[in-house]
């Protein structure tokens, strides 16, 4: 039985952040906070102007890669506190392409798993025209025309897909720290799979708690600061001062959670590694 104690891992993560806040902060600001704030600020521009959507998507992708690099750097520090911030950044840069490859493989696999659902729905007469234009009203109308049995079967498939996604995410939680901690490439996937054996339910519990708490905090920050800045700066239209200031506030909250997540996952990797060695 795996002897990893999540409470102990949490304590180690918070202790690391408290002791090394001076090294973590510049990385968090440059590689997580700035990309998150920019992404939150430009996201509404694509909805307001469809001609810009492609550029917004490209910018969001680049910013996401930068953010992954920031998380890798923090993990590198948490795994080896003797590293300097510069060494951690160089380590993260050297593993960034592998991290991106693992992320793409995971997303590609999840999309492939949805293909049978699409085939079933198309075979049942679903009109895909609305999906091509992203017209929500047309999509809703097309789905409503499907037989009730197909709709229920589709919902059951989506539920199974969601459960499978959560389980797979738990098994691959330690892939990024394996990249920087053991100098692996795609082998980090197998390493994470091995180390998370017997830990899946614990990891899923932490993941769900993280998603709920961080999501509520982000929504609360957006609602509170968006309302205040909207009143002060006169509206919160895309690109306005109020919108930018709100993005900064939301980015601050998101950065804090991402930094905590990176530190926690790194310390979990160490704990799982120690537990595996003791068996």
Helical segments of the chain, H only: 6-19, 21-28, 34-48, 53-79, 85-112, 115-123, 129-133, 136-144, 148-171, 175-181, 187-195, 200-233, 241-278
Say how far apart CA 177 and CA 173 lie, in whole Å: 8
The candidate with the shortest Cα–Cα distance to 36, out of 235, 228, 218, is 218
- Say whether pLDDT at 193 is over 70: yes
Say how far apart CA 243 and CA 236 lie, in whole Å: 5
pLDDT-based confidence at residue 203 (cuts at 50, 70, 90): very high
Where on the phi/psi map is residue 239: left (φ > 0), alpha (ψ -120 to 50), or beta?
A: left
If you average pLDDT over residues 159-186, what whole number do you get?
Answer: 92
What tokens does 178 get? 């394996």
Q: Identify whether the C-beta of residue 252 lies closer than 8 Å to the C-beta of residue 33.
A: yes
- Residue 175: the pLDDT is 94
> Within 10 Å of residue 267's Cβ, how many Cβ atoms?
23
pTM over 0.85: no
Q: Please write the tens of the pLDDT for every residue from 135-145.
A: 666 667 767 77
Say how far apart CA 181 and CA 233 lie, in whole Å: 47
């Amino acid at each position: 039985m795996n002897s990893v104690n999540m409470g102990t891992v949490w304590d180690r993560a918070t202790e690391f952040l408290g002791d090394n806040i001076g090294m973590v902060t510049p990385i968090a600001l440059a590689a997580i906070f700035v990309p998150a704030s920019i992404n939150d600020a430009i996201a509404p521009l694509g909805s307001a102007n469809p001609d810009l959507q492609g550029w917004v998507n490209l910018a969001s992708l680049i910013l996401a890669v930068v953010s992954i690099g920031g998380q890798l750097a923090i993990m590198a520090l948490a795994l080896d506190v003797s590293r300097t911030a510069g060494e951690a950044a160089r380590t993260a840069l050297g593993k960034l392409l592998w991290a991106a490859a693992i992320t793409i493989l995971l997303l590609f696999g999840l999309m492939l798993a949805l293909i049978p659902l699409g085939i079933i729905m198309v075979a049942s007469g679903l009109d895909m025209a609305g999906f091509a234009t992203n017209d929500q009203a047309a999509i809703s109308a097309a789905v409503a025309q499907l037989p009730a049995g197909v709709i229920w079967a589709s919902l059951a498939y989506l539920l199974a897909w969601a459960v499978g996604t959560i389980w797979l995410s738990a098994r691959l939680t330690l892939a990024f720290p394996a990249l920087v901690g053991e100098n692996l490439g795609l082998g980090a996937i197998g390493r994470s799979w091995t180390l998370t054996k017997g830990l899946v339910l614990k990891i899923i519990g932490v993941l769900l708690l993280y998603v709920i708490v961080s999501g509520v905090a982000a929504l609360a920050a957006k609602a509170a600061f968006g309302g205040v800045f909207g009143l002060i700066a006169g509206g919160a239209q895309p690109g306005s001062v109020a919108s930018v200031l709100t993005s900064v506030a939301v980015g601050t909250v998101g950065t804090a959670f991402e930094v905590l997540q990176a530190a926690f996952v790194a310390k979990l990797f160490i704990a799982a590694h120690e537990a595996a060695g003791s068996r």
